[in-house]
Amino acid sequence: MTDTITAPWTSEQVAALEQFQTASGMHPFTCGADLHSLPPALVPSHSGWYCPDPACDYRQDWAHTFMTNPSAWPKPFGDRHGPTPEEAHDAVLAAISNQSAANVPGATTEQLPADVLALLDTGRYLSTACETGRLLDEAIVRNPDRGDLPGWRDRMHTRCRLNHKFTGVLCGCPCHEEKP
């Protein structure tokens, strides 16, 4: 038999097991309790598998090691529906590399390849944060009694991610200009 892993599992392992259950193209682990006519697929958690039926307390604390390794899942054949193992693999990798990594200031992970960018007329870019800051400026003028608005505006400008997520064009907001 194959190697097994025993709970507790990491978030990465849980994400991979979730993908395995729904998208691997292989038969998912199902509940081993007798009370179901059609055993439901088990749901992975940090502390192991559990049965999605709230009336069922079936638990299982082990999984096959290959279940957490999408590249070990079988390749698609015929006209199988749902995501391919490659797509499932990418989904797991996305879950593994902290989703928010693409949103930190200066991140280039989502940027298009240079040869594609060369075909685009990207023009000026104002980040959503700085754009919201500008909108707050207008709101400040209209609502001088709201003393909290300048704080929100300043916060928005400090939240700017600086470069366009997909094109890398730098934010054109004046707040980024060096003050002498």
Is the CB of 59 or the CB of 64 nearer to Zn ion?
59
- Count the site residues for Zn ion by CB under 5 A: 13
C-alpha 32/C-alpha 18 separation (Å) is: 18
Q: What's the farthest any 2 CA atoms get from each other in the chain? A: 75
> Measuring CA to CA, which residue among 61, 46, 52 is closest to residue 22?
52
Cα 129 from Cα 162, distance rounded (Å): 9
Calculate Rg over the CA atoms of the chain: 24
Q: What distance in Å separates the CA atoms of residue 26 and residue 157, rounded to the nearest whole number?
A: 48
Q: Minimum distance from CB of 160 to Zn ion (Å)?
A: 3
Per-residue x/- mask for Zn ion, residues 65 to 104, rule CB under 5 A?
A: ----------------------------------------
Contact with Zn ion (CB under 5 A): which of 17, 23, 42, 51?
51
Q: Tell me how far, at minimum, the Cβ of 65 lies from Zn ion, in Å.
A: 24
Sites of contact with Zn ion (CB under 5 A): 31, 33, 51, 53, 56, 58, 127, 130, 157, 160, 171, 173, 175
